[in-house]
Amino acid sequence: MDRRDSVVDPQSGLPSPSPRDPLLSPDSHMDSFGQQHVVEVLTEEMEEGSSEVFGALEDTEWRDTVQLYKEEKSLLRYYLFEGLRYVWLDRKGTFCRVSVLNEDWTCMDLYGFQKGLSHLEQSLRRRVYGPNLIDVPVKPYIKLLFEEVLNPFYVFQVFSIILWMIDSYYYYASCIFIISLLSIGISLYEIRKQSITLRNMAKLVTNVTIRRNSGEEQCVSSVELVPGDCIIIPQEGMLLPCDAAVLAGECLVNESMLTGESVPVLKTPLPAGEERYSSETERRHTLFCGTQLIQAKGGRPGGGGAVAVVISTGFFTAKGNLVSSILYPQPTNFRFYQDSVKFLLILGSVALIGTIYSFVVLFRTSATWLELVMRSLDIVTIAVPPALPAAITTGTIYAQRRLKRQGVFCISPPRINICGKVSLFCFDKTGTLTEEGLDVWGVMEGGAAGFSELVSDPSLLPPGPMLSGLACCHTVTLLQGQPLGDPLELKMFESTGWTLREPEGDGKVLDAEFGGHRVLAVMRPPTARGTSTGEAVAIVQRFPFSSALQRMSVVTVGRGGRSALAFIKGSPEMVASLCREDTVPAQFSSKLRNFSSEGLRVLALGCKPLDENTDPKTIEREAVEKDMQFLGFLMMKNLVKPESAKVISILRRAQLRSVMVTGDNILTAVNVAKSCGMVGSDEKVIFVNATPHTAQSMPTLRFNLGDGGATQSSIEIITQGLYQGGFGYHLAISGKSFAALCEHFPEYLPKVLMRATVFARMAPDQKTQLVKELQKLNYRVGMCGDGANDCGALRAADVGVSLSEAEASVASPFTSKMGNISCVPLLIREGRCSLVTSFSLFRYMALYSLIQFCAVLILYTVKTDLADLQFLFCDIVLVTLLAIVMGKGGPSTELHHCRPPASLLALPVLGSLFIHTCMNILGQLGALFITTSQDWYVPLNSTVSGAANLPNMEDTSVFALSGFQYIIMAVVVTKGYPHKKPLYHNVLFLCLLLILFALMTYLVLYPAPIISKYLQLCDISDMNYKLLLVALAALNLLICFVAEVLIDLGILNCLRLLRQKRLSKKQYKRLNVVLSDSPAWPPLNQTLAPAEHTVIGFS
């Protein structure tokens, strides 16, 4: 293999505006987060014949790839970045992800691969696509050591240790060196352990049977698989090593790793068509890498197994996406982390001032140049604490452990702090707010003549299309003789009393019974007194449910292949739109409204006979799902989980907005919103109806009051107090209206988002769009769902929580095993606790540096310094121990209405640091002046300076008070109410505080001679003086504690009165003020047209 320079398009896979020579530019890659990286471009020689294999495909990317750069041979230029392979495409003039070579494949193209690839074709594709491996790099200890030592934290430590060794601080330097070695060792062990664990989870190598174009089937390693390979799936299933599209047969798959959905999913063959294939839109026909195939059937001779074609390998698969999100997490755009860097720069500025001051002071004492440089640099190591970045992660680590103990797993720890700032939480409905399982409430047949009487038990229906539809229109399958499938479909099927039988062996017996059709399953009616109540029906074709299409359908035949019928089941609005108008009852809308308003899950069914000449196996979905006959409604009761109302109540009391985002009917969603407390019993619901542009009409927007209030005018509503008392109403909007609103009425979108609580009939991509639109208003958005249809929204949200049995899923950063939304307030409380702890630790480490910084400068001024072991005692025994256990305090049991601040540069934070620093300086100066005013005071030897002057009275007094100040600051900055439990709940921290207070008091009052000798403390016998020092420390504690309480109560806010009042930087807060001052919004019962210029501003 030959390596040489080559160009890399900075847009990482996006076409370049103009072709470039691949030898002109430096090797760089810009990732999706806008960061530039240096990469190594590799050049590989392709075999002879490669051009001939793909040469016939003139317009394909393959030809670009293999005929990239002509010298005398065909060359392939590529590079690897974060596991993904990028290849040079000459026609595009840039490097692109290798996956672009198959992104234009149509469903028909995939069926073309059913014959298999030749050996040469497969070999060439493997050279281009690379091996099918999700290879997590596990670096050797030596390489990890160099990378860790080059961390700015350790570089600063090495610099400090060298400086201390030169300055004869041998004890201190040696101790810090040992601690740093231990820290590096533990860090290297943890990093390598995590890498090995992730590699073992990611690595999947197994044997797979593939089909060659010669017709033979060959067993190969999964590492050799490439897109386009035709794989044979055995009947007993397998752990899938790639992403693949099902071409023949049906597969029952457990996708909990991917979606968090514990219920196995039935995958059916991909419909053949000319539309472009997408794994997202064709999820019901796609097998994902890392998922467990439980069984496969109907795709091979003999009835067992299935056939699929590989579409993605390696890091381009769904499992590769999960591993990549763990290995290379998205940077968190959080103000706390941004401000921490700025704050370090502020401390650096303070260090510079101290350096200049110490240089001037020491210069006047006629110190040598070496002493001047050493003392000045020493100030830098004191003022900027190198352990600060590590210390502020302590709270997050403790929070992550507490969450894990309660069944909430996190793959992105920095997001725990973000949980503390969440201002709005979106919830999926089914399986999240409501129970996963549903109970059949009743069936109502309908037709052109209207609806019949309600039948509470579907098994009591007379034989006919409605009963057959309920028994057949599903994807329930058998596993070891037990029916398995979607809980809703299971309940529906079981309510009919029919039995399910699947083909055994080659299935020819059942095929013959039903006219030679390939039978997928047979539904047999129950027998009453030995006589069957109806005729058995065979399912010969399935079109599975799609969230985007809001429906599913099946094709059935009777015995002998007679009576071919197509059945459809789905949302009532969708099914009605696909039925002939003359078959839909006139009372359709009113009945649907009544049932939905009662909180029932309503499904509609339809059917139509198929022509005798129609082949059920080749008929397309579009041909089946049109001109149907409306059959009626199936109503199911979906009970709200008992925890949902409690959690929503907690969030409302904490002034956190709750929003429902569901694919269900809008009236059902509103009913559930009322049941769980999102909409109060005394609050109104206003429906937002937006229509798109059509050939007959312009786009329109209307706001209609629910509960029969559509005829009331806005003035009447205002009189009734709808707009009084703040948030007295909620908006509800459907997916179709949301799409029209975004496209034609963008000027109203922010206002609707501010007041909307129910979003119904939302497609998965609309859920993601909603989260992003809310984020544009500066909301910190949380999303809680079951993972199945919410993956995009869970990933887009600032805090995504998947309710799943898996410990980690590709769906979201957080995974909860609780099975209900009670994990949400827990997450927010832990997030707030972690954020407050991070703030406390940050302020403590800063104050620790400033206390020591001031003490050293004061002692420099009087020609002395702290002793080596005094530094060691303060840093290790006092500060480090306190910093480690300070973050152990757990979160408050209540969720308070105020959120903790996220800015370190806010007035309360900077103000408190300034006030405490001033108090500490005054305390140290007070101790010094008290000492020098004593009758027994002996002045320093003015002919020497620094450590040569030890022990002395000045150093002893300043050391004593500064030691108390380290402990005092730990007490003062440790916050309790309202986001953390009170201090006394952190027993370890409290005990340590008492021990250290006692230790410092002992060192001041009754120090043992051996301790005084090692710490170089001056022996002072005046007990009144010593008690005065302890009293001064107590006074320091009292003043700082009172100051902190006053700051928490907002005393510094009076300074804000000196400047003009500013509007909030958050758009949603500014918009809320605008809406509160607009009593006539929303304009009820008015038809609004789109504005020509859609600009929204805030004044």
Catalytic residue set: 428
Q: Which stretches of 43-106 are DSSP H helices?
A: 50-55, 61-66
CA distance 241 to 250: 18
Task: Judge residue 418's burial from the number of C-beta atoms within 10 Å of its C-beta, 0-12 exposed, 13-18 middle, 19 or more buried.
Answer: buried
Spell out where 302-370 has E strands.
306-312
Could you say which DSSP state residue 980 is in?
Answer: B
Rounded to a whole number of angstroms, the distance between the first and last alpha carbons of the chain is: 63
CA distance 219 to 591: 58
Q: Which stretches of 1020-1065 are DSSP H helices?
A: 1023-1048
CA distance 1048 to 325: 39
CA distance 1064 to 993: 40
Asked if 521 contacts 540 with a C-beta cutoff of 8 angstroms, the reply is no
Residue 431 backbone class (left: φ over 0; alpha: ψ -120 to 50; beta: rest) = left
Of 486, 477, 430, give the one whose Cα is nearest residue 820. Answer: 430
Asked if 514 contacts 538 with a C-beta cutoff of 8 angstroms, the reply is yes
CA distance 372 to 78: 55
Alpha-carbon dihedral sign for residues 110, 115, 116, 117: negative
Distance, C-alpha 157 to centroid of its chain? 35
Six-digit token pair at 394? 């302590």
CA distance 414 to 411: 9
Asked if 430 contacts 424 with a C-beta cutoff of 8 angstroms, the reply is no
| C-beta neighbour count of 82 within 10 angstroms | 12
Q: Regarding beta strands 781-785 and 424-427, do their DSSP bridges make them parallel or antiparallel, or are they unpaired?
A: parallel
Of 65, 78, 69, 100, give the one whose Cα is nearest residue 8. Answer: 78
Of 196, 161, 18, give the one whose Cα is nearest residue 92. Answer: 18
Distance, C-alpha 220 to centroid of its chain? 37
Which SS3 state, helix, strand or coil, does residue 181 take? Answer: helix
Half-sphere exposure of 438 (CA within 13 A, CB side): 26
CA distance 251 to 294: 7
Q: Give the residues across from 891 on adjacent strands.
A: 980
Which SS3 state, helix, strand or coil, does residue 670 take? Answer: helix
In which element (H, E) is residue 609 found? strand 600-609
- In this structure, which amino acid lies at residue 1073? V
To which residue do tokens 């099918």 refer? 132
DSSP letters spanning 398-431? HHHHHHHHTTEEES-THHHHHHTT--EEEE-TBT
Of 905, 909, 928, give the one whose Cα is nearest residue 917. Answer: 909
Task: Judge residue 766's burial from the number of C-beta atoms within 10 Å of its C-beta, 0-12 exposed, 13-18 middle, 19 or more buried.
Answer: buried
Q: Which residues contact 207 (CB under 8 A, 6 or more apart)?
A: 219, 220, 221, 222
Q: What is the largest CA-CA distance in the chain?
A: 119
CA distance 285 to 251: 9
In which element (H, E) is residue 845 found? helix 823-861
Q: How far is CA 46 from CA 8, 53, 125, 662, in A?
A: 21, 12, 11, 51
